[in-house]
Amino acid sequence: MDTQKTAFITGATSGIGLAIAQTFAKEGYNLILCGRNTDMLDKLQTELSAHCKVATLAYDVRDKDAVASSIAGLQAPFNVIDILINNAGNAHGMDPIDTGSLDDWDAMMDINVKGLLYVSHAIMPQMRDRKSGQIINIGSTAGKEVYPKGNVYCGSKHAVDAITTGMRLDLNPYGIRVGAINPGMVETNFSKVRFKDDDARAASVYKGFKALQAQDVADVVLFAVTRPAHVNIADLTVMCTAQASSVVVNKSL
Ligand code: 8X3
């Protein structure tokens, strides 16, 4: 990289976000890493500082005041954010719509949708004023199709899909690149969270085939941010070879 860019990554302490942080660090991006797990944020800051400058922000993305004040409080060089990776998000529960849990629904809409908006709201104005920047929202195949019992999770990811398009339209006058990377099944702690620490049920999701790994998605995100300035990866879906749709997965490969 000729000039050192700064990337802001939400949900950076595990899974896809962690892989993006580690990948970007090795490429020399300065990093602002966000998450709730302060121990992991401290550990990452120590580890990744060997490669780049690292700032950490510990907040719950659902807390709009904490999001706004912690981003407003960033000092140089972290107050100029070139790349925003809206990665934080999860599934909570997998129930038919008529028996779904309100707490699960709140968590998914608050984190996957409103959290993304709160963070973006705090960062988009500086990109607009500088007339440069890149925003990548980590969507999902669940934002492209709806599968049985996916209901509200799919709804939250469809919202991410629509919001990504809205951002691209409204930020177009300012030369800001906006795109979504939509992974299919990725073997992280995603299912462990979805199934509330039922390890056996979570492990069964990825049995019998080779799912995407977090690093596979991080590689795609790195590809998106290393394109020339006139190229915007607007909408990219990535699945493992065994997966053809949300419900068609070949477990005999
Ligand atoms: C994760 C993909 O199919 O587990 O966003 O919902 S899926």
Q: What's the pLDDT tens digit per position in 71-99?
A: 999 999 999 999 999 999 999 999 999 99
Q: What is the pTM of this model?
A: 0.97
Residue 140 CB less than 6 A away from ligand 1? yes
Average pLDDT on 97-116 reads: 98
Residue 141 CB less than 6 A away from ligand 1? yes
**Mean pLDDT, all residues of the chain:** 97
Give the list of residues 6+ apart from residue 43 with CB closer than 8 angstroms, or none.
none
Give the model confidence (pLDDT) of 119-174 as tens digits.
999 999 999 999 999 999 999 999 999 999 999 999 999 999 999 999 999 999 99
Of 29, 118, 153, 206, the catalytic one is 153
Judge whether 153 counts as a catalytic residue.
yes
Cα separation, 209 vs 241, whole angstroms: 9
Beta-ladder partners of 33: 9, 56
pLDDT of residue 251: 95
The answer, yes or no, to whether residue 69 has pLDDT greater than 60, is: yes
The answer, yes or no, to whether residue 59 has pLDDT greater than 70, is: yes
Contact assessment for residue 237 and residue 186, using Cβ atoms and an 8 Å cutoff:
no
Cα-to-centroid distance, 71 and ligand 1 (Å): 29
Cα-to-centroid distance, 164 and ligand 1 (Å): 18
Q: Which atom of ligand 1 is nearest to the CA of 140?
A: 5
Q: Could you count the other beta carbons within 10 Å of the beta carbon of residue 184?
A: 21
**Where are any strands of DSSP class E within the chain?**
6-9, 30-35, 54-58, 83-86, 134-138, 177-183, 235-238
pLDDT of residue 1: 60
Residue 184 CB less than 6 A away from ligand 1? yes
The answer, yes or no, to whether residue 194 has pLDDT greater than 60, is: yes
Q: Tokens 């996916």 appear where? A: 150
pLDDT of residue 253: 72
Split at pLDDT 50, 70, 90, the class of 252 is confident
Q: Which atom of ligand 1 is nearest to the CA of 154?
A: 6
pLDDT of residue 112: 98
CATH of domain 6-238: 3.40.50.720
Residue 188 CB less than 6 A away from ligand 1? no
The answer, yes or no, to whether residue 2 has pLDDT greater than 90, is: no
To test ligand 1's pocket by mutation, which of 86, 90, 153 has the most ligand atoms within 8 angstroms of CB? 153
Average pLDDT on 38-52 reads: 97
pLDDT of residue 7: 98
pLDDT of residue 189: 92
